[in-house]
Amino acid sequence: MRLISLDDLLPLEEFNLQRKELFEQQQKYLERFRRVKLGTEFTLIFENRQTLIFRLQEILRVARLTDPGKIHRELAVFNRLIPAQNILQASLLVEQGLVKTLGPLQGNYLRFEIGKHSLPGDLVTARPEDMAVGTSFWVQFAFTAEQGKALGGEEAKAEVILRWGSNPLASQSLSLEMRQALALDLE
């Protein structure tokens, strides 16, 4: 996946003028291609270059950053979040307070199931200092070429399963267009 450059970002004033429309477009995009619900208290958002550009624009807007040096520092941080080849990266959003109830999350509690393939999640970060409002974890799923091909194939069933606490939660079966979009991220 290509890194984010300064040319990918809108100037702050332009972003502010278009923000409502861009936000609505982003929400539709997330719902159609990126967001996976696990019950009512967990949401997985698969990140890619497009989702990270929008997040970066929002941070620049909220912090009112216009200084080129500071923008370049933020770019460097966000470019470290761009998933590597054959990796899907997601943020797992957890309703506030559940971590205290359920105990620490481990990466293998989360699995990406594609037909006969079961891929364990790799928890990238879950340190308290990484948390914001609510709780968010970064999770990666490593794919082989065969698994990536299965993900984008028309016949495969794919879902995400979370086994954290007493009741396992499974997502709905991922739509073909979502699976194909995620498969493109692996290239």
* Tokens of residue 184, six digits: 């493109």
Return the pLDDT at 133: 44
For the chain, state the CA radius of gyration.
17
Alpha-carbon gap, residue 86 to 170, rounded angstroms: 23
At 121, the pLDDT band (50, 70, 90 cuts) reads very high
User: 1 lies in a domain?
Assistant: no
47 or 125: which carries more pLDDT confidence?
47
Residue 46 lies in a domain: yes
> Do the domain assignments include residue 108?
yes
Nearest to 160 by CA among 170, 150, 168: 170
Alpha carbon separation from 183 to 87, 138, 153, 154 (Å, rounded) = 10, 19, 9, 12
* Residue among 127, 102, 126, 132 nearest 38 (CA): 102
Examine the pLDDT at 181 and tell me if it is beyond 90: yes
Q: Is residue 20 part of a domain?
A: yes
Q: What is the pTM of this model?
A: 0.87
State yes or no: pLDDT of 155 exceeds 90: no
Confidence class of residue 64 from pLDDT cuts 50, 70 and 90? very high
186 residue type, one letter? L
Mean pLDDT of the chain: 88
**How many folded domains does the chain comprise?**
1
Stated as kind and residue range, the H or E segment containing 51 is helix 49-63
What does the pLDDT look like over 22-62, one tens digit per residue?
999 999 999 999 999 998 888 999 999 999 999 999 999 99
Question: According to the model, what pLDDT value does residue 117 have?
Answer: 94
Domain housing 104: 6-185
Q: Is 19 part of a structural domain of the chain?
A: yes
**Residue 170 resides in a domain:** yes
pLDDT in tens, 78-120: 998 899 999 999 998 887 666 566 566 665 688 999 999 999 9
pLDDT over 80 at 67, yes or no: yes
pLDDT given for residue 167 in this prediction: 77
Tokens read off for 65? 């950053």
